Amino acid sequence: MKKRNLFFTGVMLVMTALAGCGNAAEQKAPAEQAPEPVVQERPAEQEVGMANPWREITAKEAAEAIPNLFKAPDGAEVLAWTMLDDAAEANGKPGSLVDLQFSMDDLIFDARAQVTGDEYMDLSGLNYEWTAEDETTLSGWGGGNMSAKTYRNINDSGMIDLITWYDTEVGISYSLSVAAADLEGFDIQAVAEQMYDPSKQAGADTLDEAKEHIPRDISGCDTFTQIVNTLENGAGYANTTIDGVDVILIADQVYELDGGGTGRFNAIDAEVYYYSEDGVPTYAGYVAAAGTAYPLAVSDGKLFVCSGHFVRKMVIADGKMVSDEEVNSPDDSRFNELFGQYEKAEVIEFSKVQ
């Protein structure tokens, strides 16, 4: 642990000397960044003696905190995963700040991710005027449609490169920065693209999740109402019709429509139940969309389950939830047609158990 703390201190001192690190919890957007502050360095031993709000975590803990997390590029050496719990607000947005430090090609990188909700935030903690700024699009991230911003500062001590991006689907902000004496010819965007991990993206495993999902125990429940009576606070339920079949959707968690404060709720995943021919509530299946930007919706008797990369129109066939039509690539010409149908569909409003 001592060795890790000394490494962390050394990295922070280098970043401070070159860039003037700000407080990560302040997290200003690039457009609001102040001119470069005057920085006073502290001796290394003084830094080590100070209370460190960052705590060391495992890669698994990091993935649990950030659903669409990045990975270290292939061939890079992971130096540390850390988390700043103090960055989290009581309402969970923004959430805890996750930091990955890794080395590659004799450079030390600092990557950060945080659930920030509807707001894009610069997580780097770097506050100064940029010598150059540019806008770009990351491949891999967002199906190849992820907007990003790059920044470079050139000063008497060297250079700092920064790239930031924001996943609107799940409300997560990201940053990647590096400092060195000379970064001429270096492409920080290429590194950010190597950090994309398809297996960690929300919705990547929704079909597998549906197959592996274990439904709740409704034994003894003769009506939908009795199922609702078993739910814990925070869960939600909604009655709707899928392909002419009356169903109830049960969600373990719901969230407020239109960003909160409305008192109306929707969900991105739910168990689906219908009445069998015997009049008994029966489990039809589990559906999961990819993020809060894609609440469950119905149109023309079809249940829409979506993300920015897939659209599924679900129906009940032989007592099970199945895809009536599905497109898994934004590059497919049919994708825009189906997604247009989803945008016009009626978002399912859930009642929250409180």
Residue 9 clears pLDDT 80, i.e. is over it: no
Rounded to an integer, the average pLDDT of 225-242 is 96
Residues forming a β-bridge with 70: none
CB-based contacts of 96, cutoff 8 Å, min separation 6: 65, 83, 84, 85, 87, 88, 114
- Mean pLDDT for 53-75 is 90
3 pLDDT tier (thresholds 50, 70, 90): very low
**Does 24 have pLDDT greater than 50?**
no
Answer yes or no: is pLDDT of 88 > 90: no
Note if the bond before 43 is cis, omega within 30 degrees: no
Q: What is the pLDDT of residues 213-232, one digit of tens each?
A: 889 999 999 999 999 999 99
CB 55: neighbour CB atoms within 10 A? 13
pLDDT-derived band at 81, boundaries 50, 70, 90: very high
The confidence score (pLDDT) of residue 20 equals: 41
Q: Which amino acid is residue 108, in one-letter code?
A: I
Q: Which residues contact 138 (CB under 8 A, 6 or more apart)?
A: 144, 146, 147, 148, 165, 189, 192, 193, 196
pLDDT class of 44 with cuts at 50, 70, 90: very low
More confident residue, 91 or 8: 91
- Are the C-beta atoms of residues 66 and 172 closer than 8 Å to each other? yes
The torsion angles phi and psi of 55, rounded to 5 degrees, stand at: -120, 145
Residues 120-156 have pLDDT tens digits of: 999 999 988 899 999 999 988 877 778 999 999 999 9
Whether residue 195 is predicted with pLDDT greater than 60 in this model: the reply is yes
- What average pLDDT is seen over the chain? 82
Q: What percent of the chain has pLDDT over 90?
A: 58
Above 60 in pLDDT, residue 334? Answer: yes
Do 221 and 230 contact (CB within 8 A), yes or no? yes
Domain limits, the chain: 2-200, 206-352
CA distance 11 to 17: 10
Closest among 9, 4, 83 to 47, alpha carbons compared: 9
pLDDT 10s digits, 245-293: 999 999 999 988 765 567 789 999 999 999 999 999 999 999 998 777 7
Q: Distance between CA 66 and CA 234 in Å, rounded?
A: 21
